[in-house]
Every structure is written in structure tokens, then in C-alpha cells.
Structure 1
Amino acid sequence: MKKMCIYVEGQTEQLFVEKLIEEIANKNNIAITVKSLKGGGKNSTTAKQLIVLKDKPIDENTKYYILIVNCNADNRVQSEINENCLNMQNSGYEKVLGVRDLFPKNLKDLPKILKYAVVKNPDLKITAKSIIAVFEIETWFLAEYRFLEKIDSRLTLPYIIENLGFDLENDCLDQDMKYHHSAGILNKIYQSVDRSYNKTYAKSEKIIKNLDYEILYLITKNKLKSLQEFINELDNFFTIEE
């Protein structure tokens, strides 16, 4: 059985990563545990604890086990990887990944963040690194813009281009500073048809359920470097060497 852990910065990332894994693995032979990290931070007065949110039992058919940990803060993703990767290696994990975003930092800060994203330890033999979504996880959603019509039939690409100036098909979403606050862009698009977007469970879940994962996997990943990196890591994990 192959084992992987993925640390994420928040609820939206948690829901997306879980769904993406299910789609790539085709829901077969996988067991997923989802935990939420509470307390234990620098300014916390409570001890660190992991609360189980979901736990699919491992059985004799399980080929892949994935632990997803919601850190509830972007600045804890890398520190949790650094702190736990050796113990996870010793427990049989072959990948320890993190998913966090760049916002509110700027593109000029990305090289410095990437410099520390990969764990460098002579005793480490497994993959242990963070993947930085540029700019926010919502950038990945906007690249698969077709879901917007499922939210509201008025939100077609021509409508969005003409009324809001966002060419979600041709713009470089992870390079154009216009998309720096991607969650805010998504909210502007929603507001144009008298809706609103925020990172509540219900609204994040609705988007994640309406994304076309075939498009995301086959086309969109090639438009976004960080998404492609993440999907490549998942593909590698779900490949069993005969």
C-alpha cells in the first residue's frame, strides 16, 4: 500500500484536493483520512491536536492511503512538512506535499518562497515539499471557467469578457497581477449577477462539485505551472510499479 500526506492551508483547499484525488484515482482502491489541525501555533495557548473530520477505513483492497491535513493557516503548511516529514518517512509515507497560495505576497516574493518549499535533509529519501498556487487556489478554479455557467447561466465567457474584462481563456492567470486576489475576482464575477463568493463550506463545495476535472486534468494543468506540478505529483503517486 502506498501512502501520501497532503497539508493544505484551509477548507477550500481541503475540499478541492480531496475531490481531485478521487477523480484521478477514479475512487478505486483508495482510503482517505481528513484531519483538521487545531492549536499549537506560536501564539496559541492550547496544545496542538488533530481532529478527524473523515476517515475511510483501510481494507484488504486498499492500494493507496491519503492523509489530508487542514492546517487552517497558510504559514503552517511548510512548518508542518518540515517538522513531520522524517517521522512520516519512517511510517512508510512516500510523499509529503503541501498546497498553499502566494496571496497576499507578490510575484517578486515567489522565488524566495520556492527556495524553502522543498525540504533539504540528508536523511530524507522521500518527496517532501510545498506547491504554491499562484495566486490563490481560486486561480485554478477560474482557469476552468466553464463551471461559472453551472453556477449561473448568465456567466458565459463572452459576458465576463465584455462586462468585466477578464479573459479567463487567454489571460495568463498566474502571471497577470490583475488576478492577484483571485478570490476577489471570483466575487466580482458573482456580484455581476447579484451573487457573492466567499470561502464558506457551501460555496466552495458548490464550485468544486461543478468543476470539470477532465478539462482541469488534460488542458488547464498545462496553463498553470503550480497546478501541473501538483497533478504530476499525484499521477506519480498513483502509478504502481509492476
Structure 2
Amino acid sequence: MKKMCIYVEGQTEQLFIEKLIQEITNKKNIAMTVKSLKGGGKNSTTEKQLIVIKDKPIDENTKYYILIVNCNTDNRVQSEINENCLSMQNSGYEKVLGIRDLYPKDLKDLPKILKYVTAKHPDLKITAKSIIAVFEIETWFLAEYRFLEKIDNKLTLPYIIKNLGFDLENDCLDQDIKYHHSAEVLNKIYQSVGRSYDKTYAKSEKIVENLDYEILYLVLKNKLKALQEFIDELDNFFS
């Protein structure tokens, strides 16, 4: 059985990655545990805890085991990888990945950040690194803009371009500074039809359930460098 751990910064990323993996694998031969990290931070007065929030247990048919850990903040993703990667290697994990975003830092800060995304230890032999979603994970959602019509049938691409100036098909979403705060871009699109977007469970889940994962997997990874890096890591693991 192959084992992989993925650390994420928040609930939206957690829900998206759960669904992406289920779609890629067609939910076959997969066991998955989702945990939420509480306490134990630099300024925390409570002891660090990992609370299980979902669990599809291992059985005789399991070929792949995925552990997803929601760190509930972006600044703990890399530190958790650095702290735990060696013990996870010793427990049979083949990959320890992190997904975090660049926001609120600027695009010019990315090269500096990328210098520190790979865990370093003389005895480390597995892949242990963070992948930086530029700008926010919502950039990946916006690239698959077709889901917006499922949220509200007025939200067609021509409508969004004409009324808001966001050409979600042709803009370089991970390079154009107007997408720096992608969650707010998504909120502006929602607001144009009297709705609102935030990172609450219900609203994130609705997007995640309406994304076209075939398009994300086959097409959009070629437009978004971080998405391609993540999918390549998944393909390598599941091959």
C-alpha cells in the first residue's frame, strides 16, 4: 500500500483536494483520513492536537492511503512538513506535500519563497515539499469558470467580461496582478448577481462539487503552473 500526506492551509483547499483525488482515482482502492490541526502554534496556549474529521478506513482492497491535514493557517504548512517528514518517511509515506497560496505576498516574493518549499534533512529520501498556488486556490476555480453558470445562470463568460472585465478564459490568472486576491475576485463576480462568496464550508463545498475535474486535469494544468505541479505529483503517486 502506498501512502501520501497532504498538508493544506484551510478548509477550501481541504475540500478541493479531497474531491480532486476522488475524481482522479474514481474512488477506487482509496482510503482517506482528514484531520484538523488545533493548537500548538507559536502563540498558542493549548497543546497541539490532530482531530479526525473524516475517515474512510483501510481495508483489504486498499492500494492507496491519503492523509489530508488542515493546518487552519498558511504559515504552518511548511513547518509541519519540515517537522514531520522524517517520521512520516519512517512510517512508510512516499510523499509529503503541502498546498498553500502566495496571497497576501506579491508575485515578486515568489522566487524567495520557493527557495524554502523543499524539506531538507540528510536522511530524507522521499518527496517533501510545499506547492505554492499563485495567487490563491480560487485562481484554480476561476480558471474553470464554467462552474459559475451552475451557481447562477447569469454568470456566463461574456457577462463576466462585459460587466467586470475578468476574461477568465484568456487572462493569465496566475500572473495578472488583478487576480492577486482571487477570493475577492470571485466575491465580486458573485456580488454582480446579488450573491456573495466567502470561505465558509457550504460555499466552498458548492464550488468544489460543481467544478469540471476533467477540464482541470486535462486542460487547465497546462495554464496554471502550480496546478500542473500538483497533478504531476498525484500522477506519479498513483502510477
Which range, TM-score by smaller chain? Answer: over 0.9
Match in the other structure for 2:14: 14
Show structure 1 runs of 4+ deviating over 6 A.
none
- What CA distance in whole angstroms lies between the structure 2 residues aligned with 1:232 and 1:25? 14
In structure 1, what residue type is equivalent to 2:67?
Answer: L
- What CA distance in whole angstroms lies between the structure 1 residues aligned with 2:164 and 2:231? 30
Q: Secondary structure at the match of 1:69?
A: strand
- What CA distance in whole angstroms lies between the structure 2 residues aligned with 1:152 and 1:221? 25
Match in the other structure for 2:155: 155
- The Cα shift of 1:10 comes to 0.2
TM-score of the two chains, using structure 2 as the length reference: 1.00
The one-character-per-residue Cα deviations of 1:168-217 (angstroms, maximum 9, x if unpaired) are: 00000000000000000000000000000000000000000000000000
- What CA distance in whole angstroms lies between the structure 1 residues aligned with 2:26 and 2:95? 20
Match in the other structure for 2:221: 221
Q: Secondary structure at the match of 1:139?
A: helix
- What CA distance in whole angstroms lies between the structure 1 residues aligned with 2:34 and 2:13? 12
TM-score of the two chains, using structure 1 as the length reference: 0.98
2:99–2:133 Cα contact (<8 Å) kept? yes
- What CA distance in whole angstroms lies between the structure 1 residues aligned with 2:38 and 2:49? 5
Match in the other structure for 2:79: 79
Match in the other structure for 2:67: 67
2:82–2:120 Cα contact (<8 Å) kept? no
- Segments of 5+ residues of structure 2 without an aligned counterpart are none
- The Cα shift of 1:84 comes to 0.0
- What CA distance in whole angstroms lies between the structure 1 residues aligned with 2:112 and 2:20? 28
- What CA distance in whole angstroms lies between the structure 1 residues aligned with 2:214 and 2:17? 15
In structure 1, what residue type is equivalent to 2:207?
Answer: I
- The Cα shift of 1:57 comes to 1.0
Indicate yes or no: 2:121 matched with 1:124: no
- Percent identity of equivalent pairs: 87
Match in the other structure for 2:49: 49
Match in the other structure for 2:185: 185
The one-character-per-residue Cα deviations of 1:77-123 (angstroms, maximum 9, x if unpaired) are: 00000000000000000000000000000001101111000112221
Matched positions, count: 239
* CA root-mean-square deviation: 0.4
The one-character-per-residue Cα deviations of 1:152-171 (angstroms, maximum 9, x if unpaired) are: 00000000000000000000
- What CA distance in whole angstroms lies between the structure 2 residues aligned with 1:119 and 1:30? 26
Match in the other structure for 2:143: 143
- What CA distance in whole angstroms lies between the structure 2 residues aligned with 1:121 and 1:86? 8
Q: Secondary structure at the match of 1:41?
A: coil
In structure 2, what residue type is equivalent to 1:201?
Answer: Y
In structure 2, what residue type is equivalent to 1:229?
Answer: E
The one-character-per-residue Cα deviations of 1:132-164 (angstroms, maximum 9, x if unpaired) are: 000000000000000000000000000000000
- What CA distance in whole angstroms lies between the structure 1 residues aligned with 2:57 and 2:137? 29
Match in the other structure for 1:91: 91
